[in-house]
Structure 1
Amino acid sequence: MNKKIIKKAEELITQRKLSELKEIIPQHPEDIAYFIFHLFNPSWKMIVFRMIPPDTAVEVFMSFPVEEQEKMLEDLTTSEIRTILNEMSVDDRTGLFEEMPAELVKKFMSYLYYEEREIAQQILNYPENSVGRLMTPDFVQLYEDMTVEAALEHIKQIGLKTETIYHAYVLNAERKLIGVVSLKKIVLAQAGALIKDIMFRDVKKINVYRDQEEALGIFKKYDLLALPVIDNNEKLLGIITFDDLVDVIDEEATEDFQRIAAVVPIEEPYLETNLFNILWKRSFWLILLVILGSASGFILQKFQLTIQKWIALSFFLPMLVDTAGNAGTQSSTIVIRSLAVGEIKINDFLKVALRESMLGILLGGILALACILRVFFQEYNWGLSLSVGLSMGLTVIISAVIGASLPIILKKIKLDPALMSGPLLTTIIDILGITIYFWIANKFLFLLRI
């Protein structure tokens, strides 16, 4: 949106020219939310928000970031809060409550009508990051013995209150999910046809307690618009629509990037996060890496006689640890991504380890040969060249296997695989690389009596 329009709006507010202000307010809820969000003064935001028609205000409110929603709730009247919270979609309201302190959630829960409060409490009782936290109970449900004519009438009656009408979910007498039928198929079918005769029985569904990332994988694999959510008895509880998962994609990607960079995940936007909060979350891993990295110094100290005897070994140490770290990072990045999109499962550990071992041997062999030639043309010493080359080949093999294996191990013990990448993995491989390098050099050059 043009910043000049926002600037113009601020001028009209200060001049109290509200009729002119109303003419430049956008029409689409998303655009209105952007317009209000970028006004400088919080009181101005409330002036514009209260100028919006009531039927649009809820959609605008849902379009704000959660942090902005919380701020606006502080300035709204009790009546306005009650209207908004009760009219909000269940999934958006859940997202708002998840970010609030428990005392505020309890307060705003009291503003909900009885039925809405029951739904909100039920959803918030599901584990964090579970499918249950994302689902909405507002969907079209039909029964297998309904006629197409009755189904269409039912959709007309409840359609405006549901998340989507494009897919209806078919239940049996026990309310268990047995099929799905598209609106297109219902509209094109004969009025007297039964729903059970036109429905699709192979329904892709997910248990309410499963992780949100698993739901994302199902959406991607089957190209779905909505995914039904069931309990342990196959009874339909709600649905997840793809737009509900967009925020999950964004959050998971941001969290993984932060962990890869050795940063404790930061929930708030960067410019809105307290400086000391950022300091703590960045310094935590840096301090841990300093402590872990200090092991390299002890190893170098242990081999100081070897270094003194063969000074040239120190010339090639940075090349070796950098190459090994890069090889490990390549493996871990590929495996972490494959785990995230479901291409690799925890049970594939041995297959992955074997595959990376073979790749490591091939890469290690190529790099060892290149390293031997590189060292020889600098030092003209075949013993030193072979020692450095052998260390390079072995370190690359081990780095590739470690880089691929550790993310799967972390996944197995319910930790984020992204932890085992970037600085942390590089530090571990540096320690192993230095140890291997000087151990081989010590043994190999001693045997050659160089």
Structure 2
Amino acid sequence: MEEIKDLDVIEELLETKQYTRLRQKLSDINIADIAIILEELEEEELLKTFRILPKSMAADVFSYLEVENQQYIITSLSDREAANIINNLMADDATDFLEEMPANIVKKLLSHASADTRRDINHLLRYPESSAGSIMTVEYVDLKENMTVEDAIQRIRQIGVDSETINICYVLDPKRTLVGTVALRYLLISPPDAVIADIMHENVIYLNTLMDQEEVARQFQKYDFTSMPVADNEGRLVGIITVDDVVDILQEEATEDIEKMAAIVPSDRPYMKTGIFETSKKRIPWLLLLMISATFTGSIITSFENALSAVPMLTVFIPMLMSTSGNAGGQVSATIIRGLSSNEIGYRDIFKIIWKELRVAIICGVTLAAAYFVKLMLFDKSGIDVAVVICLTIISAVSIAKVVGCTLPIFAKRVGIDPAVMASPFISTVLDALTLMIYFSIATQVLHLS
């Protein structure tokens, strides 16, 4: 609500050309809220408002904007203004931005950026996408073991303004190997002449540059840190990752998993920024695959055409049986996928999981079958033989669904496939075919159909 009020005020100030008041108003608003407001403005007003921003805020606000608006702003500014924005961005934010830009714009921006900025950006671009090295920042406070607390505080004053965080400082030896950390609070309460080596924490937990970003998020969750150092294979400190980066990782990974579970090829662009053809292109491949796989269901029904002709009532229960098995499989697959993503379960647990899910399946299947048996007898007036077929199918289908739902994601993870791909509707398609085969097999035996 407050953002809407601020937006109205800013639009009014722009319309009446009260730029001094506008600049003052912007200075009183949080940078993240300014970015949200700018996203609501037309392009001309957005650029005008961005130019009015105090220089100390411009780069920070820029880092919060959507890529399309970042590109519009950067291509509308002069070379000097654009370079100033890039130079004032944190190295990780600048790298993320440049990765989304066309090559000609990147080349132009880097040619006008400072030597330090070019070095930091080129350093981060070396690492694989979605690795710890690609999301870290190189702005941090480093100290030496032989420094005194007074020296350390003086160094923080010198470089702290341009650092991502000063809450944790990193102690390096002459080879830049990470040997310890020291929290700012310990520096503040220690005597000025105390030596860093005596007060630092030596048992340092750090991330490797090639660690996957999902594992990075798990490490933050495990240790409850607000920042973690990133070191290369030789233990040399090359950057840090802060908790705000982890929040972005979690959102990105969750969105990707949801899209895969819905049979959509993941997209890096927001929904409202994606065109209809691009959206269609992301969905068509999976729809085609699922449509082709669903033809097996039709083939199974065709192969049991005689049974259906002899007992037409069997057709009525097909949707219910397929839906029940799909729901049962979907329940367990969602649980297993979540357990795999959080490292709660692994391949070694597969037999324990199958044994547990089989027992759960028996309880669920018998309960569902009993409830449906009552319905068949009291309301549908079905014969006892048909009721037996339906109830046996429910128990069997739920059991198979639970086993398939728990094993497919685990096997997928084992062979290097994202387990989310094995979620509904993929599992539902597999279970539809299995359920029909079970149904008609039981019907053929119980009802003595040829």
In the superposition, the TM-score normalised over structure 2's length comes to 0.92
Structure 2 CA distance for aligned equivalents of residues 17 and 171 of structure 1 = 51
Question: Is structure 2 residue 376 aligned with structure 1 residue 381?
Answer: no
SS at structure 1 position matched to 2:323 = helix
Instruction: Give the alignment partner of residue 403 of structure 2, picking from 401, 404, 413.
Output: 401
Amino acid of the structure 2 residue aligned with 1:364: G
* d(CA) in 1 for partners of 2:355, 2:195: 54
**Aligned alpha-carbon RMSD (Å):** 2.2
Note if 1:224 corresponds to 2:225. yes
Q: 1:167 — aligned with what?
A: 168
After TM superposition, list the pairs within 5 Å mapping 1:165-314 onto structure 2: 165-314=166-315
Deviation at 1:135? 0.4
Counterparts of 1:169 and 1:23 in 2: how far apart (Å)? 38
Q: Aligned ranges for residues 407-418 of structure 1 at < 5 Å?
A: 407-418=409-420
| TM superposition shift of 1:433 | 0.9
TM-score, reference length from structure 1: 0.92
Give the CA deviation at 1:305: 0.7
- Give the SS at the match of 1:50: helix
Give the SS at the match of 2:106: helix
Match of 1:81 in 2: 82
Whole-Å Cα distance in 2 between the matches of residues 104 and 173 of structure 1? 38
Indicate if the aligned counterparts of 2:173 and 2:179 stay in contact, CA closer than 8 A.
yes
1:20-39 alignment, distance < 5 Å:
20-27=21-28, 28-39=30-41
Contact 1:371 1:392 in 2 (8 A): no
CA deviations 1:102-121 (Å, max 9, x no partner) are 34333322222222212211
Tell me, yes or no, if structure 1 residue 145 matches structure 2 residue 149. no
The one-letter code matched in structure 2 to 1:203 is V
Moved more, 188-197 or 204-213: 188-197
Cα pair distance change 1:269/1:307, threshold 3 Å: same
What is the CA distance between 1:379 and its match in structure 2? 4.1
Question: Identity percentage over the alignment?
Answer: 37
CA deviation after TM superposition for structure 1 residue 89, in Å: 0.2
- CA shift at 1:384, angstroms? 2.3
**Runs of 4+ residues over 6 Å off in structure 1:** none
- Residue correspondences, number: 447
Q: Identify if the C-alpha distance between structure 1 residues 80 and 324 changes in structure 2 by more than 3 Å, giving closer, same or farther.
A: same
Counterpart secondary structure, 1:110: helix
Q: CA shift at 1:298, angstroms?
A: 0.7
1:247 and 1:48 mapped to 2: Cα distance? 27
Structure 1 residue 100 corresponds to structure 2 residue 97: no
CA contact under 8 A between 1:140 and 1:159: conserved in structure 2? yes
Gaps of 5+ in 2: none
Q: 1:19 to 1:152 in 2, by over 3 A?
A: closer
Task: Report how far residue 231 of structure 1 moved.
Answer: 1.1
Q: 1:46 to 1:166 in 2, by over 3 A?
A: same
What is residue 338 of structure 1 aligned with on the other side? Answer: 339
Match in the other structure for 1:420: 422
Given that 1:373 and 1:385 are in contact with CA atoms closer than 8 Å, whether structure 2 keeps it comes out as no
CA distance in structure 2 between the partners assigned to 1:355 and 1:106 by the alignment: 57
Judging changes above 3 Å, is the alpha-carbon distance between structure 1 residues 106 and 412 closer, same or farther for their aligned structure 2 residues?
A: farther
Shift of 1:324: 0.7
